[in-house]
Amino acid sequence: MHMPFIALVLILACATQSACAQNTRNGLPSDVEHFVKNRDICDHLAGEAPDPGQEARAKEVADGIEKYCTGTDKKLQSLKWKYAKDPEVMEKLNTYEESIESPAEP
């Protein structure tokens, strides 16, 4: 219900790249920091293999992968395009694999 309002506020707050760059932590733009946080969780979960008999944990991992990994290939590509001229951002983004999502079923 409040999501469209929040999205509008974020869009207005980051109307320019320089405005977004001011909202940084660790020297990276906030949109890159958000991606890094989610992608790091995604990578951790993708590397986790619950033992047989841990169905509840396997479901948590699968749900987490869906939540944190879905859309990251496209987001990484978008961020690389947006920050192509920013060597610090590109150095961080280049640490991630380009394609981690499964290809769509035909």
- pLDDT tens, residue order, the chain (106 aa): 443 433 333 443 444 444 444 455 568 999 999 999 999 999 999 999 888 889 999 999 999 999 999 999 999 999 999 999 999 999 999 999 999 986 654 4
Q: According to the model, what pLDDT value does residue 3 have? A: 38
**Max Cα–Cα distance, the chain, nearest Å:** 50
Instruction: Please give the model's pTM, rounded to 2 decimal places.
Output: 0.70
Q: What is the pLDDT of residue 49?
A: 86
Buried-exposed string 57-82: b where 16+ CB fall within 10 A, e elsewhere = eeeebeebbeebbeebeebbeebeeb
Tokens 């694999």 found at: 97
Find out whether 101 and 70 touch, Cβ atoms under 8 Å.
yes
**Which pLDDT score is estimated for 51?**
85
Q: State the pLDDT at residue 25.
A: 55
Q: Supply the pLDDT for residue 16.
A: 41
